[in-house]
A and B are shown apart, each in its own frame.
Chain A
Amino acid sequence: MTERVDDIVDVCLLAGKLMLESGGETYRVEDTMTRIAASFGVSRSHSYVTPTGIMFSVEGTNVTRFIRISERSTDLSKVAFVNHISRRISSGELSLDGARKELERVQRQPLGYPFWQQTAAAAAASACFASLLGGMNHFLPSLLSGGMAFWCFEMMHRLVKIRFFAEFFASFVAGGIVLLMERAGLVGDVGNMMIGSVMPLVPGLAITNAVRDLMAGHLIAGLSRGAEAFLTAFAIGTGIAFILSIR
């Protein structure tokens, strides 16, 4: 039995780790792990999840595990996949080995969209948003500055592992490009273009997760996600303020 409990805990932790690393809410991670454990017959398990680590323990045995989450990315389709696998486990469709294989397949799977597609999407989203606020003549300039901002964010993030600096740098670049275009007489109103260009950097997931975790009563996770959202917004604002001060 103990061996089996070990295996069940392995599968639970793998599912939890995948979800948390891909940007799932903390309460969803706890819920998923408890559900998976329960459907394999471990009805009394306890978990404690924060954005940077998972603790999982099975009542009545010596099994307690801890894993550290050091790197997080945003891949909501992975969260959806793991969610789907957990549903299939609950309905008895998947065995323990089957579940492990499915989860390992999700783990190996690359990001949903290649980097160039994401950059193109960021550019086009910036352009759409700037036009939404200021009119269609904002479209082309924001396409350039928004795309460059996202590209710079990823490149800087690969180079320096300080997320907030990468965000600051990206919004600085976005503002700088808009400013240069203004100097060259290509654009008139810089405000809406700068706002549109930094939209892909806005911490939408952190805001949503913070609210949803706080609602579920996960105060520590909710507050730390809220701090992440606040610091990101602050980094973006500082980058833009830098540009405005040298304008």
Chain B
Amino acid sequence: MMIVQLLLSFVASSLFGVIFNIPKRLLPHSGFVGMSGWAMYMAAARSGIDGVAATFVAAFFVAFLSSGFARRYRTPATIFIVPGILPLVPGGTAFEAMRHVVMNDYNAAISLAAKAFMISGAIAMGLIFSEVVNQLVKRRP
């Protein structure tokens, strides 16, 4: 089951790369980044870590790997980050929020929307922390 998940996230992320028109030779790399991010997220979520924290860890890892690839292939890191963070986007939570809005259950809708918002914030924080680590490492002679 785990292997199927990894495979699916790999294929999905590299296909997202096609939608964003990233160079053909780097498609497998973006797939790898997406797969690693999803694996981190799943591992963290299964060990009982909260969804927001799990997303943060996964986004950090995605950005970290992306900057490594970016240096290695001398290309913008965005190429790997964009397909990499897509599986982490809180689609499920946002969908549930919308479903409750439609049912006029605004209390549940707002708490779900807040959670989706927190998860998006966790993605942003992950990207920022990875950049912080990058700059700290770069400083060292």
Contacts and interface: CB of A to CB of B under 8 A. Distances in A.
A186 B76 CA distance: 43
A124 B87 CA distance: 14
A136 B83 CA distance: 22
Contact of B123 (A24, A76, A205, A207): A207
A205 B81 CA distance: 9
Contact of A241 (B8, B75, B98): B98
Contacts of A131: 8
Contacts, number: 145
Given A80-B23, A111-B21, A245-B102, A125 B92 contact: no
A212 B130 CA distance: 11
B91 interface: yes
A112 B15 contact: no
B74 interface: yes
B12 A132 contact: yes
Nearest to A241: B98
Contact size range, B? 35 or more
A70 interface: no
A53 interface: no
Given A24-B76, A28-B76, A121 B91 contact: no
Interface string A225-240: 0000000010001001
Nearest to A79: B76
A217 interface: no
Contacts of A202: 86, 89, 91
A76 B8 contact: no
Given A128-B11, A191-B92, A80 B79 contact: yes
Given A84-B74, A112-B23, A128-B12, A204 B85 contact: yes
A117 B27 CA distance: 14
B58 interface: no
A136 B23 contact: no
B82 A133 contact: no
Interface string A122-151: 101100110111001000000000000010
Contacts of B76: 24-25, 28, 76, 79-80, 83
A136 B92 contact: no
Contacts of A77: 21-23
Interface residues of A, number: 53
Interface string B44-59: 0000000000000000
A207 B85 contact: yes
Interface string A185-215: 0000001101100111010110111011001
Interface of B: 4-5, 8-9, 11-12, 15-16, 18-24, 38, 74-76, 78-79, 81-83, 85-87, 89, 91-92, 94-99, 101-102, 120, 123-124, 127-128, 131
16 contacts: A22-B21, A76-B21, A80-B76, A84-B75, A121-B19, A125-B15, A128-B15, A129-B87, A132-B8, A202-B86, A205-B20, A207-B120, A208-B81, A208-B82, A209-B78, A212-B78
Given A76-B21, A202-B91, A207-B120, 7 more contacts: A23-B78, A80-B79, A118-B19, A150-B19, A191-B96, A202-B89, A212-B78
Interface of A: 22-25, 28, 74-80, 83-84, 87, 111-113, 117-118, 121-122, 124-125, 128-129, 131-133, 136, 150, 191-192, 194-195, 198-200, 202, 204-205, 207-209, 211-212, 215, 233, 237, 240-241, 244-245
